Amino acid sequence: MTIEAAAPASMAPDAAARPLVHPGWVRVTHWVNALAMLMMIGSGWQIYDASPLFDFVFSPQIALGNWLAGALLWHFAAMWLLVVNGIVYVALGLASGRFRAKLFPIRPREVLRDFVAALRGKLSHDDLSVYNAVQKLLYAGVLLAGLVIVLTGISIWKPVQFWWLTAFFGGYDTARYVHFAAMAAIVAFVFVHVVLALIVPKSLRAMIVGR
């Protein structure tokens, strides 16, 4: 891909010597997904405000779309980007064996061990191509949350045509709460994800240039 070809030239001389951590398709789908999620969550907050589920609303300053119709236009346009990009990512992740190699197995004992190590600041980041158990759990978890948010989204969008899916999530009203909960889980993940990327900046570099 052009990104891989162009990257070494703009970097330090030793950059090409570092092993490739993220292939091009991972980096492209990662950033497209980041953009799509930003639009989906921002517009979703504006839509939420039209009929809040809880005793609070999101400030229009951090929401997207200005008013309900504008937010709906954003939400139902960005959904295509999110879903098409997500399908490409999951298909390549499964076909390439990357999911199986990187995310599994997830052992509770290792998660606990790595979690304690992370809190003590003793977790190694020397090899970015190997995920620790906490990372595995979080990345697998956010994939699951992504699946839930798409399926509950379809349940709310098409509660008649896909009534069986809506029924699976406990009916129309319950599906709205599950949709919200999945959003909250993803936002919490993004917060932790971004903070950790700041603490280990070379991980951010690897997601941009691959190495």
What are the CB-based long-range contacts (under 8 Å, 24+) for 120-127? 125/200, 125/202, 125/203
- Cα dihedral 99, 105, 106, 108, rounded to 10, equals 180
Nearer to another protein, 96 or 161 (CB): 161
1 contacts another protein (rule: CB under 8 A):
no
DSSP run (H or E) holding 163: helix 163-168
User: CA geometry: angle at 190 spanning 32 and 30, to 5°?
Assistant: 20
Name residues contacting another protein, limited to 4-33 (CB under 8 A).
31
Nearer to another protein, 83 or 140 (CB): 83
Of 6-14, 46-54, 90-98, 119-127, the segment contacting another protein by CB under 8 A is 46-54
Applying CB under 8 A, which of residues 130, 161, 168, 192 lies at the interface with another protein? 161
Minimal distance, residue 68 CB to another protein, in Å: 7
User: What CA–CA distances, in Å, run from 72 to 40, 78, 116, 172?
Assistant: 10, 10, 43, 18
Question: Can you say whether the dihedral through the CA atoms of 153, 156, 161, 164 is positive or negative?
Answer: positive
- Cα dihedral 146, 148, 154, 157, rounded to 10, equals -90
If DSSP codes are grouped into helix, strand and coil, which group holds residue 120? coil
47 contacts another protein (rule: CB under 8 A):
yes
Place of tokens 């990512």: 89
Determine the size of the site formed for another protein (CB under 8 A): 43
198 contacts another protein (rule: CB under 8 A):
yes
Applying CB under 8 A, which of residues 130, 173, 184, 192 lies at the interface with another protein? 173
91 contacts another protein (rule: CB under 8 A):
no
Of 18-26, 40-48, 85-93, 114-122, the segment contacting another protein by CB under 8 A is 40-48
Encoded tokens for 158? 């098409």
Name residues contacting another protein, limited to 49-88 (CB under 8 A).
50-51, 61-66, 68-70, 72-74, 76-77, 80
| 46, 70 Cβ separation under 8 angstroms | yes
Encoded tokens for 149? 């948010």
Minimal distance, residue 155 CB to another protein, in Å: 11
**Chain residues that interact with another protein, rule: CB under 8 A:** 31, 34-35, 38-39, 42, 47-48, 50-51, 61-66, 68-70, 72-74, 76-77, 80, 156, 158-161, 163, 167, 172-173, 176, 190, 194-195, 197-198, 201, 204, 208
